[in-house]
Structures are given as C-alpha cells and as structure tokens.
C-alpha cells in the first residue's frame, strides 16, 4: 500500500535554509507535491515535480527527487518567519485507473527571528 513519511518538526533561524524531507512508496507516482498549511487554513499548493525530473526550482523553493530511493525534499532558501507552517508531502497514486493524493503527516516548520 501507499505510505508517505516525513519528519515531524524542523526549527530554523530566519535567513537560514530549511530542508524538509519525505519518503514515499508508490513507484508509479507521476507527480509529487508539496503543500503548505497555516493554522486554521486549508492546503496551499507550493510546488510539484513530475516523476521524470530530478530537480525543480521556483524562486526560493527547490525540490529534489531521488526516484531510486523514493526520496523527495523541499529546500526553502532565506527562510522567513512567514514560512512557519506545516508542510505536507503528497504523492499522486492511482487506484482503479484514477488518481488521488496520499499525504504524509506533515512537518511543522518553526522559524525564529
């Protein structure tokens, strides 16, 4: 079955880089996603990567994908206090020909001034 694992907590200082890691199990996933959730809010799509890519950069965000090890990471450069939130890794899994998202439990990122 599908399972997505993430570390639960990360604390960094403002201006540092943050790296959030994720492992997944479904080798047939076509897309892998990173979502951000602020307190009391829904999910905001940050970025995604197609499974045939190794890296994707989008402004302060860099996604690295190691398909052999089924490992995904999100690097946030110059982390700001506004980046404090819970970050979810999700894989696009297919059952009966249709795709759904399988999420990890989320990594709480705390950015201190």
Partner 1 sequence: DAGVTQSPTHLIKTRGQQVTLRCSPKSGHDTVSWYQQALGQGPQFIFQYYEEEERQRGNFPDRFSGHQFPNYSSELNVNALLLGDSALYLCASSLSEGGYTFGSGTRLTVV
Interface positions with partner 1 (CB under 8 A):
4, 30-31, 35, 40-45, 88, 90, 92, 95-96, 98-106
Long-range contacts of 95-101 (CB under 8 A, 24+ apart): 99/30, 101/33
Give CA–CA dist 96/5, Å, rounded.
Answer: 24
Residue given tokens 């297919």 in the structure block: 94
Give CA–CA dist 65/73, Å, rounded.
Answer: 7
Q: Which is nearer to partner 1, 27 or 95 (CB)?
A: 95
Q: Which is nearer to partner 1, 36 or 70 (CB)?
A: 36
Tell me how far, at minimum, the Cβ of 6 lies from partner 1, in Å.
8
Q: Which is nearer to partner 1, 38 or 78 (CB)?
A: 38
């Amino acid at each position: 079955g599908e399972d997505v694992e993430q570390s639960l907590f990360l604390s960094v200082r403002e201006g540092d880089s943050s790296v959030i890691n994720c492992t997944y199990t479904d080798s047939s996933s076509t897309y892998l996603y990173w979502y951000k959730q602020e307190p009391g809010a829904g999910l905001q799509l940050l970025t995604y990567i197609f499974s045939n890519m190794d890296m994707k950069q989008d402004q302060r965000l860099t996604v690295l994908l190691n398909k052999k090890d089924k490992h995904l990471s999100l690097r946030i450069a110059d982390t700001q206090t506004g980046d404090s939130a819970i970050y979810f890794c999700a894989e696009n899994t297919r059952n009966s020909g249709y795709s759904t998202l399988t999420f990890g439990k989320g990594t709480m990122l705390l950015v201190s001034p």
